[in-house]
Amino acid sequence: MTEGTTQLEQLDEIREKALAELGTVQDEAALSQWRTHHLGRSSPVMQVFTQLPQVAKELRPALGQAANQVKQALEAALADYSQTLREAALQRSLQTERLDVTLPGRPRVRGRVHPTTLTMREIYRVFGEMGFQVYRTREIETDEYNFELLNIPQHHPARDLWDTFHTTTPGVLLRTHTSPGQIRVMRERCPEPIRVILPGMCYRYEQVSARKDIQFNQVEGLVVDRDITLADLKGTLNEFYRRLFGREVRTRFRASYFPFTEPSGELDVECVLCGGAGCGMCSGTGWLELLGCGMVHPTVLRNGGYDPEKYSGFAFGMGPERTTILRYGITDIRDLWTNDLRFLEQF
C-alpha cells in the first residue's frame, strides 16, 4: 500500500470520526470545541494540507482534492448542526419561558424637535419679521461658485481659511459656507433689490472640539439695494440679536477680513454661560463670536450682475449651533450631533 493511499484512508477515518463526535454535541460551547478540534489550524484534516509538500508530486492533486472535500463536508455538517441547535434552543425557550401579559408595557420614547431646529425656526421668524425671505441653495457646489466668484481665485491665500472637502470630480466640492448662494440669488433676481437669508449645511475639515465640528448649519444674510451702508448692517444685526436674546444683550463689532466683503467685521455676543466672566466655551474671553459680516465686495456684486457704482449691499454668515448653545446653556457643541435621547428629551 502506497503512502498516498494510506493518507486517503486516513481522511475517510477523520471524516467519520468527526461526524460521529458531532452527533454527541448538545450545546453551543461543545460545538465551539468541536469546531476547534476538527476544523482548527491544528486539526487532523488541516495537517494533511500542511504535509502535502512531502507527498510525491503525482499523488498531491488527488490527496489535496480529497482533503478539501473532507473539509467542506465537515463545514457543511457544522452549519447544519449549528442551525439545529439554535432551533432546539428556541423551542426550549418557548416551552419553559412564559410572558406575563399583566405586566405594564414599556413606555415609548417621545420624539422632540432638535434644539438646532428650534433655533433655526426662531431665526426664520425674527428675520421674517424684519422683511427677509428664505432662499435655499445646494450643498454640493463648484469651485467657481464657492471661491472664484466670491473674489477668491485659484492659489489665493484666503483659501487656507476654509479646509475644504473635495469630491472625486474635479472642481466639485462640499460647500464650505453658504456664501455661494449670494451669487446664485443675485444672478436670479438682478436688478431687483434683495433681502434674503440663505440657511443650510456646510462642511469643513476641522479639528472637532467643544466649539467646532466638521459639519454645521449656517445662515447667510444678503441685502442688496441702492444706498445700503455699514450703518444698515450694524443696525440690522443688533436688532436681530436683541429680538433673539432680549433687549439687554450686549454685542460688539470687531474689524476682520473676508475676501468677499470690504470692509469686513465680526460680531460677538456676551457669553450667557458665564455672564462675561470667562469660561471654556468662550475661551476665557467672556465673548462668543457668532458671525462674520461686511459690505459686499464690488467684485462680488459685479459677478452677481449688479453695477457696484449704483448698488451696494451687506452680507453676514452666522452659526445657528453657537446661537443654540447660548439660548439653552449647552456647554459642548458635540452634544448637538450625538443623537443621545437623554439630551434631546430636555427640549
CB 284, CB 296: distance < 8 Å: no
- The superfamily in CATH containing domain 115-344 is Bira Bifunctional Protein; Domain 2 (3.30.930.10)
Residue-wise pLDDT for 308-335, tens only, equals: 999 999 999 998 888 888 788 787 888 8
Higher pLDDT, 282 or 46: 46
At 279, phi and psi to the nearest 5? -150, 180
Using 50, 70 and 90 to split pLDDT, how confident is the model at 23?
confident
Quote the pLDDT of residue 210. 62
How many beta carbons lie within 10 A of that of residue 148, not counting itself? Answer: 16
CA atoms of 317 and 218, how far apart (whole Å): 6
Pick the closest to residue 197 from 227, 225, 219 (CA basis). Answer: 219
CB 295, CB 262: distance < 8 Å: yes
Higher pLDDT, 290 or 134: 134
Can you tell me the mean pLDDT for 222-239? 96
Residue-wise pLDDT for 87-107, tens only, equals: 888 888 878 877 777 888 888
Residue 2 has pLDDT above 60, yes or no: no
Residue 29 has pLDDT above 80, yes or no: yes
Least confident of 67-76, 121-130, 271-280, 319-328: 271-280
Mean confidence (pLDDT) of the chain? 87
pTM over 0.75, yes/no: no
Residue 5 has pLDDT above 70, yes or no: no
Residue-wise pLDDT for 148-207, tens only, equals: 999 999 888 877 777 889 999 999 999 999 999 999 999 999 999 999 999 999 998 877
CB 38, CB 45: distance < 8 Å: yes
Residue 1 has pLDDT above 50, yes or no: no
Residue 46 has pLDDT above 70, yes or no: yes
